[in-house]
Amino acid sequence: MAPTHASIMWMDGSLLPWSEGTTHVMSHVLHYGSGVFEGIKCYHTPDGPAIFRLEDHMQRMADSADSYGMQVPYTVDELVNASVEVVKANKLESGYIRPIVFYGYDSLGVHPNNCPIRVAIACFDWGAYLGDEGITKGVRITVSPWKKFHWSSFPTTAKGSGQYLNSLLAVIEARKRGFDEALLLNSEGNIAEGSGQNLFIVKDGRLYTNNKEASILMGITRDTIIKLSEDLDIPLEITDLIPDQLLTADEAFFTGTATEVTPIRELDGHTIGDGKPGEITLWLRAVYLDIVQGKRPEYQHWLTYV
């Protein structure tokens, strides 16, 4: 599960050895979490490595930076090209790409003043985030005692580095109690999301997921599943979800770039459906994996070939 980093990364406009991708310990980002980042996957396909929805990820990073008033010194297109360059330079066939925009060192006030905006893109060899067993058998999750922060406190649709302390607390607490993942409720008591995943429920053949008003990150995998549900004629409702709907669901699954489509088999000891990955979950998962691996010509526009 631990990712193996590649030997070359991209930083502030150039390719450089991994060991040179550094910043001073007094960098603003280390103290205040003042960065925005992305998690992107690159898959092996018959036509070589392909990065899934790269432009959408880079656009989300630009939007996240915008939410925090950070002026990124590169365009989305330049970041897309830089990502391709990094994967190519490392001869990576498949793996994970982590771009980050952050405030480096200049001063220590909370206001970033003249702290330089730095940009880095690294890539990794990385297998299943929730473990191979989690993907095939489903994961066991628990309602976290930590609530998801509300959109009135943070721009919840932004992927801000500091925002992840909330996820960190939740996932540490869940693992301590022997669960695979945490489910965070929002301040209204509705379902928000996992520490790094969006949630879908299946009930009576219909799909349900929540929306940005639930204080979630607007996942690109979530968006992919929403589009697939239209193409596959699976009815979908985007609405607030309460925990009881998960307890009484026929199926449930998490979505995320690293998580892909991962079935959920248990919530706090309560079996969901029959405790096995459900039919619709497995169908969507199979189509998703086909798409990212370049096996569905109609979705080629989501792939950037390296």
| Residue 257 binds ligand PLP (CB under 6 A) | yes
> Under rule CB under 6 A, which residues in 134-153 are in contact with ligand PLP?
none
Verify whether residue 91 is a known catalytic residue: no
Would you count residue 181 as binding ligand PLP (CB under 6 A)? Answer: no
Kindly state whether residue 256 participates in binding ligand PLP, applying the rule CB under 6 A: yes
Give how many residues touch ligand PLP by CB under 6 A.
Answer: 14
Residue nearer to ligand PLP on the CB measure, 144 or 197: 197
Q: Which is nearer to ligand PLP, 186 or 257 (CB)?
A: 257
Location of structure tokens 């500091």? 162
What is the number of alpha carbons within 13 Å of residue 165 lying toward its C-beta? Answer: 8
Separation of alpha carbons 183 and 195, rounded Å: 7
Q: Smallest distance, Å, CB 222 to ligand PLP?
A: 6
Q: Which of residues 195-254 bind ligand PLP (CB under 6 A)?
A: 196-198, 217, 219-222
255 or 281: CB nearest ligand PLP: 255
Of the residues 159, 176, 227, 276, which is catalytic?
159
Positions marked catalytic: 159
Which residues bind to ligand PLP, rule: CB under 6 A?
Answer: 39, 167, 193, 196-198, 217, 219-222, 255-257
